[in-house]
Amino acid sequence: MNKKSNTGFILIVDDNPTNLSVLCEALNSEGFRFRVAVDGESAIAQVERNQPELILLDVQMPGIDGFETCRRLKTNPVTQNIPIIFTTALADTDSKTKGFSLGAVDYIPKPFAQEEVIARVRVHLQLKQLTESLEQQVSDRTKALQQAQVQLVQQEKLSTLGELVAGIGHEINNPVNFISSNIPPLQEYIEAITELLLLYQQEYPKPTTKITSVIENLDLDFILEDIKKILNSLEIGSERIRNLSNSLRNFSRSDSDAKISADLHQGLDSTLMILQHRLKANSQRQQIAVIKNYGVLPQLNCYLGQMNQVFMNILANAIDALDEAIIQGKIRDVTPQIKIATSIESEQFAVIRIADNGIGIPERLKKRLFEPLFTTKTVGKGTGLGLSIAHEIVVQKHKGVLDVNSQSGMGTEFIIKIPI
């Protein structure tokens, strides 16, 4: 091990001045930094305050001996990974076996040979450095694999969802266009037929008994009036279907390769339209109220399809939280609601706040919300990928911020900030 790379220190634990002198001289001659403790108790106290790179620990000491000192250090999570080399005159197999079973990495026999002390210290410092480097590499590789997994799942979900939604939107669009385009001429035909019937009534005020009977059976006046209402309902219904079709196509915008100038309000409204069936009242709760407080946002350069995915994940989670609050009896006299507010912050960020009055998130879980595969939902109700994908889209793809404010039982608010 290069002496200059050793920025830590070695702790020598020995009550014998002669042994201390020999060990200090050996380490000092090689430029190693070191500190000294003369008993087990003070050694443990020093290590807990400031962790050394390596410990040279005498076995036979007053108070607690080296074996007990080693046992305590190895049972403490803070100090358990520090390599310990026993220094002892005990050469019997049982003593060595006991030391290794307690977690020691080596023995240096007394009396000391300076070259052996330096060689063993150098080897174990190198091993510790290599172990730490390997652990860091494993940690980095694990994070990279998790990140790659999230990106693959995100791309797959966006691609699959985009194709599905775009296909549905296209399939809906054709028949609804057919219906809506035929409503105006149908209205004209019915108006013409109605006018003709009225003209017949004027020109022939006394129809035959057979015609009179048919008119009475049909309730002609009611039918003529109701036809207008039916046509109006068809017109309203086809318009709503057209809006849904437009929302589906807007939601599934295929823009993963390049940012486009987009209206985030339109993305929010499209997502709400798609989730409309989940917002409606059901057998367990009343309708979820959506309160929109939109500010003035400029057109933003963003991946709109991916931002819609963020809105979908957060809004769907809010609905899940409200449903769970109802099941747990935590919302009774209060209307379940989702508040959506948008604004500009410091002329630098477009801010979208999505808040619910559901069950909230415990403090101990908040810091893990954006971890891949972590979920607060029960088995089968969540993959733990939704919010991690949302975080990836907002933070990595858009260089923005995704935060959460929540208290258990007090609801949850997600804050999305996208650079302008």
* CB neighbour class for 319 (10 Å; exposed up to 12, middle 13-18, buried from 19): middle
CA atoms within 13 A on the CB side of 276: 10
Banded model confidence at residue 7, pLDDT cuts 50, 70, 90? low
The answer to whether residue 189 is domain-embedded is yes
Question: Cα–Cα distance between 132 and 126 in angstroms, integer?
Answer: 10
pLDDT, tens digit (0-9, with 9 covering 90-100), for 128-160: 888 888 888 887 787 777 666 666 665 555 555
pLDDT, tens digit (0-9, with 9 covering 90-100), for 358-378: 888 888 788 788 876 666 655
Question: Cα–Cα distance between 361 and 408 in angstroms, integer?
Answer: 5
CATH number of residue 291's parent domain: 3.30.565.10
Banded model confidence at residue 4, pLDDT cuts 50, 70, 90? very low
User: With contact defined as beta carbons under 8 Å apart, do 336 and 326 qualify?
Assistant: yes
Task: Kindly state whether residues 416 and 304 are assigned to the same domain.
Answer: yes
Banded model confidence at residue 2, pLDDT cuts 50, 70, 90? very low
- Residues of the domain holding 177: 144-252
The answer to whether residue 201 is domain-embedded is yes
Task: Kindly state whether residues 220 and 280 are assigned to the same domain.
Answer: no
CATH number of residue 53's parent domain: 3.40.50.2300
Q: Which of 223, 252, 281 finishes a domain?
A: 252
For range 168-184, the mean pLDDT: 77
Q: Which of 222, 252, 282 finishes a domain?
A: 252
Task: Kindly state whether residues 24 and 93 are assigned to the same domain.
Answer: yes
Mean pLDDT of the chain: 82
Task: Kindly state whether residues 169 and 280 are assigned to the same domain.
Answer: no
β-strands 401-406, 412-419 pairing: antiparallel
Return the number of other C-beta atoms located less than 10 Å from residue 161's C-beta: 16
Task: Kindly state whether residues 12 and 107 are assigned to the same domain.
Answer: yes
Task: Kindly state whether residues 271 and 413 are assigned to the same domain.
Answer: yes
The answer to whether residue 135 is domain-embedded is no
Task: Kindly state whether residues 287 and 350 are assigned to the same domain.
Answer: yes
Q: Which of 252, 286, 319 finishes a domain?
A: 252
User: With contact defined as beta carbons under 8 Å apart, do 369 and 361 qualify?
Assistant: yes
Question: Cα–Cα distance between 238 and 242 in angstroms, integer?
Answer: 6
Task: Kindly state whether residues 235 and 273 are assigned to the same domain.
Answer: no
SS (HEC) of 182-224: HHHHHHHHHHHHHHHHHHHHHHCCCCCHHHHHHHHHHCHHHHH
Question: Cα–Cα distance between 395 and 402 in angstroms, integer?
Answer: 7
pLDDT, tens digit (0-9, with 9 covering 90-100), for 183-231: 888 888 888 988 898 888 888 888 888 888 888 888 888 888 888 888 8
Task: Kindly state whether residues 398 and 359 are assigned to the same domain.
Answer: yes
**What percentage of the chain carries pLDDT values higher than 90?**
19
